[in-house]
Amino acid sequence: MLARRPRKDGTEVTFVLPGEDPPGPVSAVGDFNNWRPGLHTLQPRKDGKRAITVAVPANTTQSFRYLAAGDYWFNDESTEDRDSANNRLHT
């Protein structure tokens, strides 16, 4: 699931996943971090889910995916817009 919050100088995007599915560390990886795993690792929240918030420029389209342990790439099922194998995020 994605949550967006407009900011004066861009948009904050929060990436949210269930707490343990898939197990192990999961990173949000995409255009916003030059596809570098480990920079935006989702962290546990009090509600049992895990999340990370990333600042991205406003009025852009960002491609992204999640990367879990064991080199397991997967998409955010809550987003319908895709670019080939990647999700697309519009800010």
**DSSP characters for 35-84?**
T-TTSSB-EE-TTS-EEEEEEE-TT-EEEEEEEETTTEEE--TT---EET
- The average pLDDT across 57-79 equals 92
- The average pLDDT across 11-15 equals 95
Supply the pLDDT for residue 88. Answer: 92
Are 91 and 62 within 8 A, CB to CB? yes
Supply the pLDDT for residue 84. Answer: 82
Residue 32: pLDDT band with limits 50, 70, 90: very high
- The average pLDDT across 70-77 equals 93
| b/e 72-88 (16+ beta carbons within 10 angstroms → b) | eeeebeeeeeeeeebbb
- The average pLDDT across 26-47 equals 96
Structural domains in the chain, sorted by start? 2-90 (2.60.40.10)
| Amino acid at the residue 55 | A
